[in-house]
Structure 1
């Protein structure tokens, strides 16, 4: 993995779900290349922090001279740890580790793409240097797999990653407990929740503006955007400019957010792009209906049961938020649960891990 901490929370969740399919007793070691933040990694196996500088890992510009040292460092470490299968999360990690793995043909390599990425000719050439029996390219959804496959001209296996629904349900708080944790109380008729890193691509600015318009006709609503990131200052400025300080709350990163979904009446996902969108799965498993951007990857999961809104369209999002007042949330939640079919999707994901990644061998 590239790093730890909240910014990589979704990657860590998928990483752990894959590793959890290993045969009991399998020795698992996770490497964090850049820093020591391990909060999102749980207790599955051993975690090693490398504390390597980004410029050293990327080996660009004047740091190109460091590439042989980087390659030798990882080559020796992989030999020392007697690696049999290496799971590389994302393109950055693949760029750093694959040059060392070229000289270790006995090690099986799996690269997992978690989101859209900028692939150049050097990346494709690097992947082509490996025999198919040594290297497998995977993506967390069919949508992402098809996109990367079209770009590279190489086969990409769609894992269709899925959370374990039973394990996820066990951590959920009740509606009353979750609202108590969030401090929302019972003073709002509807509470909308949005969860994700505070970055432009999550579309939260559009959501805030749409919510402001919806409040003009339905003032007893509350929006919580849970997460942290570089867009916080800009989002807070938007909230302030629109006078929404008591209506739109940004409580920051919350380590226990997965337990809080039942505090919401609706979960809203205004993303501009997603490789998978774990929030969709978490919401539906929790029994909370979803409004989501009109992205192919969300159609892949919810089909005809989804409510899809054009990306970055404030007017359309306002209309969608208003529309929720006329819907029976329990019926929408039930329909979306049936469409996602979490238990069957979880079993298919487990089989994909076994068949394509060989992590159970």
Structure 2
């Protein structure tokens, strides 16, 4: 069996999506051939480990086929059709609706190829997307989402079944890669005596880091020895840097940028803060909990789905509530909270359920 994993692009903005696809494809049978296509730019190492990887370097206008570029859609469809046939594809794993729009027209004319569309977050589905999905049989097209919360939302939009493929990390593989607290703090240049709050994610509006920075600055009035480290890169860097400067907390709120294998450094933190305004899965929750770091997160259904009653939740976008929650967490017994959250997430059994779901999705039906 041959699987083609098609993703939009490489690069740090897509790191969490790469992790999810890597986890899914790692569950393929040993005799399955896996090839990765990146429609644009270079491929991440985690995908290269799975099989041959190619960055196609296609122009965005060619991929999307909008406006006057709609004239090249037949050429685009023929390009992908020929590539799928040349690689003897039997299953294609597609990264979200953007990749699906580009590849599914080619797949539709090849009934021996099954397509799986993986949704990683909320997306604006257009009426033509819904019509196009409905042209496929359930045997040829499977829609999946990384959480039940997201699957339910998309199913309500498309009025089609959406399978929940709750991505989970293998705790037995993840834990040995973790650096100790001392090693992690040394790598991030954090003084040992500081209480450190961490946050990880793309520097974009949906992650809510602007709210977090304002809230954290409020707590420094009574606890000036605290640090907030937000690891990631994105379009909001300049805006966040300006906000930090305006609040006068340049030495207390740090933006070190993208850090490779950042999850291995989570033990540098006393708490992980996740102020997202929206989230498809929130892989950081799993990584932090498995690392033994307690999580304080926005009050979103997807986080409740993972942590249940053990979660510590804060109203979305509420600076005052976040400041109060940070103060309360600083007084809580972090090890006890972390243990409770670990028991609720139950990574060992969640990992087994994920593996079984992957086997179903990747099977040669």
Bin the TM-score by the shorter chain.
Answer: over 0.9
Where does structure 1 lack aligned partners over 5 or more consecutive residues? Answer: none
Contact 2:18 2:44 in 1 (8 A): no
What is the match of residue 251 of structure 1?
Answer: 256
1:233 aligns with 2:238: yes
Q: Is 1:263 matched with 2:268?
A: yes
Cα displacement string for residues 131-188 of structure 1 (whole angstroms, at most 9, x for unaligned residues):
1111110000000000000011010000111111111111100000000000002131
- Work out whether 1:347 is the aligned partner of 2:337: no
Query: How far, CA to CA, are the matches of 2:319 and 2:113 in structure 1?
Result: 50
What residue is the counterpart of 2:219 in the other structure?
Answer: 214
Residue 42 (structure 1) shift: 4.4
Match of 1:22 among 6, 23, 28: 28
- Report matched runs for 1:177-326 at 5 Å: 177-188=183-194, 190-326=195-331
Whether 2:22 is the aligned partner of 1:12: answer: no
Q: How many Å apart are 1:39 and its aligned residue?
A: 4.3
Indicate the residue corresponding to 1:338 in structure 2: 343
Matched residue, 2:83? 77
Separation in 1, partners of 2:31, 2:185: 40
CA–CA separation in structure 2 for the residues paired with 1:318 and 1:350:
39
The alignment partner of 2:36 has SS state of strand
Let me know the Cα RMSD of the aligned residues: 1.0
Mapped to 1, the partners of 2:267 and 2:110 lie a distance apart of 48
Q: Matched residue of 1:2: which SS?
A: strand
Structure 1 residue 108 corresponds to structure 2 residue 114: yes
Confirm or deny: 8 A CA contact 2:115 2:140 kept in the other structure. Answer: yes
How big is the shift at 1:74?
0.2
CA distance in 1, matches of 2:274, 2:67: 38
3-state SS, counterpart of residue 28 of structure 1: strand
Aligned partner of 1:152 in structure 2 is 158
Equivalent residues in 2 for 1:87-98, closer than 5 Å: 87-98=93-104
Contact 2:43–2:53, Cα closer than 8 Å, also in 1: no
SS in 2 for 1:29: strand
Asked whether the 8 Å contact 1:31–1:48 carries over to 2, the reply is yes
Which residue in the other structure is 2:3 paired with? none
Displacement of 1:40 in angstroms is: 5.0
State how far apart, in whole Å, the 1-side matches of 2:106 and 2:90 are. 14
CA distance in 2, matches of 1:69, 1:325: 59
The residue aligned with 2:40 is 34
Q: Pick one of 70, 83, 107 that aligns with 1:64.
A: 70
Indicate conservation of the 8 Å contact 2:217/2:247, yes or no.
yes
What's the offset of the Cα at 1:292? 0.2
How many equivalent residue pairs? 359
Map 1:47-58 → 2, pairs under 5 A: 47-58=53-64
Structure 2, unaligned runs of 5 or more: 1-6
CA contact (8 A) 1:6 1:40 kept: no
